[in-house]
């Protein structure tokens, strides 16, 4: 059985075309102190019927459209294609992790309107967020308590990356792209993630080159793709139609590398 863990990550962007990054805890077993996009591995609750009944956008046609990654002839993948049940769990996990780590809840009311809680309700939701993160409260239970529905339709698959076999911890990660809801404020959970910031992709890369920001290889490569855009609309148009190639980087002398033809084609 594969020891590669399925994971979901969300690239959250706002209209000024800044991306949300937060610093992983110093005690994190994976990429400590690195600035990353919010995300994590799937949990049993993400595959549960209760969570999926409370999530919009899990219909077969949409799943087939989003999970369209192809394997390149010159870049091996150690993992088989993700099964349909797992794709549903990945979308739920992406929404849950975004809420846990960044405090952003992509959701709709029972009337299918964007959620717009008043200050008192958001204070209550903030307290519930900590309980969801600790496992005391299920994500589906939080949604049901407010009669809300998590909205996976707001997530678009951007890329599919797999950690190389040489790494002690391996992840089969799907990176999703989403526009930040204007009425919500991103805030790192101060447990797994700290120092959340909004930053232009090019600025993040400049800080990395100056040694002011620790970034890991997949984050660097995603920021390099994203710095080509000067607006959220341009990025959204690109993501809607871009090809997706499964990436499991080769190991180079000092780092990971991609075949040259795939540098801007994944």
Residue extents of the structural domains in the chain: 5-262
Q: pLDDT band at residue 26, thresholds of 50, 70 and 90?
A: confident
Stronger pLDDT, 78 or 5, i.e. the higher one: 5
pLDDT for res 29: 64
pLDDT tens per residue, range 221-254: 999 999 999 999 999 999 999 999 999 987 765 6
**Under CATH, which architecture does the 5-262 domain have?**
Alpha-Beta Complex (3.90)
Report the chain's mean pLDDT, rounded to a whole number: 92
For 60-86, what is the mean pLDDT?
Answer: 93
The pLDDT value given to residue 23: 94
pLDDT at 62 over 60: yes
18 has a pLDDT exceeding 50: yes
Identify the pLDDT of residue 1. Answer: 42
pLDDT the model gives residue 246: 96
pTM to 2 decimal places? 0.93
- Rounded mean pLDDT of 199-214? 97
pLDDT digits (tens, 9 = 90+) for 93-125: 999 999 999 999 999 999 999 998 777 788 888
The CA-atom distances, in angstroms, between 47 and each of 61, 96, 130, 138 are 19, 12, 21, 12
Which range is least confidently modeled, 67-81, 109-123, 211-225, 250-264?
250-264
Orientation of helix 139-146 relative to helix 119-134, angle to 10°: 160
Of 168 and 31, the structure prediction assigns the larger pLDDT to: 168
- For 25-31, which contacts have Cβ atoms below 8 Å and span 24 or more sequence positions? 25/191, 25/192, 25/193, 25/194, 28/192, 29/169, 30/169, 30/171, 31/216
**For residues 123-146, average pLDDT:** 93
pLDDT at res. 36: 96
Compute the average pLDDT of residues 162-189.
91
């Amino acid at each position: 059985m594969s020891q590669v863990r399925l994971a979901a990550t969300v690239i959250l962007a706002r209209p000024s075309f800044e991306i949300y990054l937060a610093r992983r805890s110093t005690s994190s077993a994976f990429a400590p102190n690195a600035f990353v996009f919010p995300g994590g591995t799937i949990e049993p609750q993400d595959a549960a019927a209760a969570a999926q009944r409370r999530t919009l956008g899990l219909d077969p046609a949409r799943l087939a459209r989003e999970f369209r990654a192809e394997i390149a002839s010159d870049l091996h993948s150690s993992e088989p294609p993700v099964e349909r049940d797992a794709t549903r769990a990945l979308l739920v996990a992406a929404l849950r992790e975004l809420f846990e780590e960044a405090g952003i809840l992509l959701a709709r009311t029972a009337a299918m309107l964007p959620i717009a809680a008043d200050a008192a309700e958001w204070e209550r939701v903030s307290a519930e967020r900590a309980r969801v993160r600790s496992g005391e409260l299920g994500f589906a239970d939080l949604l049901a308590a407010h009669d809300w529905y998590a909205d996976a339709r707001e997530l678009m698959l951007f890329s599919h990356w797999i950690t190389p076999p040489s790494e002690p911890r391996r992840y089969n990660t799907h990176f999703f792209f989403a526009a930040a809801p204007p009425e919500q404020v991103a805030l790192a959970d101060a447990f797994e993630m700290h120092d959340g910031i909004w930053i232009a992709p090019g600025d993040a890369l400049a800080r990395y080159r100056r040694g002011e920001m620790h970034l890991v290889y997949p984050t660097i490569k995603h920021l390099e793709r994203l710095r080509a855009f000067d607006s959220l609309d341009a990025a959204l148009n690109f993501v809607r139609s871009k090809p997706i190639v499964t990436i499991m980087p080769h190991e180079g002398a000092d780092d990971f590398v991609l075949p040259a033809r795939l540098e801007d084609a994944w």
